[in-house]
Amino acid sequence: MKPSELKYITQEIIDKGGINVTSPEMLDEARRYNMDAVKNAATRHRLNTLMGLLIFLQIPALLLSVCLKLTSMTIGDFFNYSFSRREVIGPITTYARLGAFIIGLLAYLGLFIYYIIWKGQRGSKMMFLCSFPAMATTLLGVGIAIINVIVAIINEKYDEKLSQEAGYPGFVRLNVTTVESDASSVHDLTYDSIKERAKRLRPRDDDQFLS
């Protein structure tokens, strides 16, 4: 529901989170807005969940990558340095490279969690920049960066569409009340119930209300 389609609901009403309906038309608009707000909020929640799952699904893959890297480097050093004068230098070099590898992955996770998950900066450029430390340390990081950018483009597409909807970005449902009506609930609201209450409470304004 676009803001231009709203006649009674303003941004101030949306910010307050409630509306007092005084006509069936207002009630109908409030109902339609609430239905759209629920749908749009669910879409935004799914996008947020996707971003969260993306990082948590990557963690096992990154840990596996560390284990494989450590195994391959250790085995390589065993054959290359076990019977040479570099038998001390070899392991030191191995652990130095492994340390740089782990630091790169930790930097990636830190940047991703802070900027993408916490700060919500989920543009494709930011995704790429956050993925750069992983790209610089392992081939797996290149694949992760590609996936991150694709997901970011999808997120940007849906977010741009949602930004054109009324209530963006929170999509808060309105609490609908019927203070100016005899109706016991919004389901019983009719034009006559509003008119009768107006007659009793504001008899001098009755003609203006009916016009």
Verify that 186 and 113 share a domain, yes or no.
no
Verify that 186 and 125 share a domain, yes or no.
no
Verify that 57 and 143 share a domain, yes or no.
yes
Q: Among candidates 155, 168, 160, which has minimal Cα distance to 51?
A: 155
The Cα–Cα gap between 27 and 35 comes to 12
| Residue 3 belongs to a domain | no
77 pLDDT band (50/70/90 cuts)?
Answer: low
Q: What pLDDT is recorded for position 85?
A: 47
Verify that 56 and 158 share a domain, yes or no.
yes
pLDDT in tens, 145-172: 888 888 889 888 888 999 999 999 889 8
**Model pTM above 0.85:** no
- Owning domain of residue 183: 13-40+169-210
pLDDT in tens, 189-205: 555 555 555 555 555 54
Residue 177's φ and ψ, nearest 5 degrees, are -120, 165
Q: Are 89 and 168 in contact (CB under 8 A)?
A: no
Angle between helices 24-81 and 89-111 (to 10 degrees): 180
Verify that 35 and 61 share a domain, yes or no.
no
pLDDT in tens, 42-74: 998 888 888 778 777 877 877 777 777 777 766
What total number of domains does the chain contain? 2
**Identity of the amino acid at 186:** V
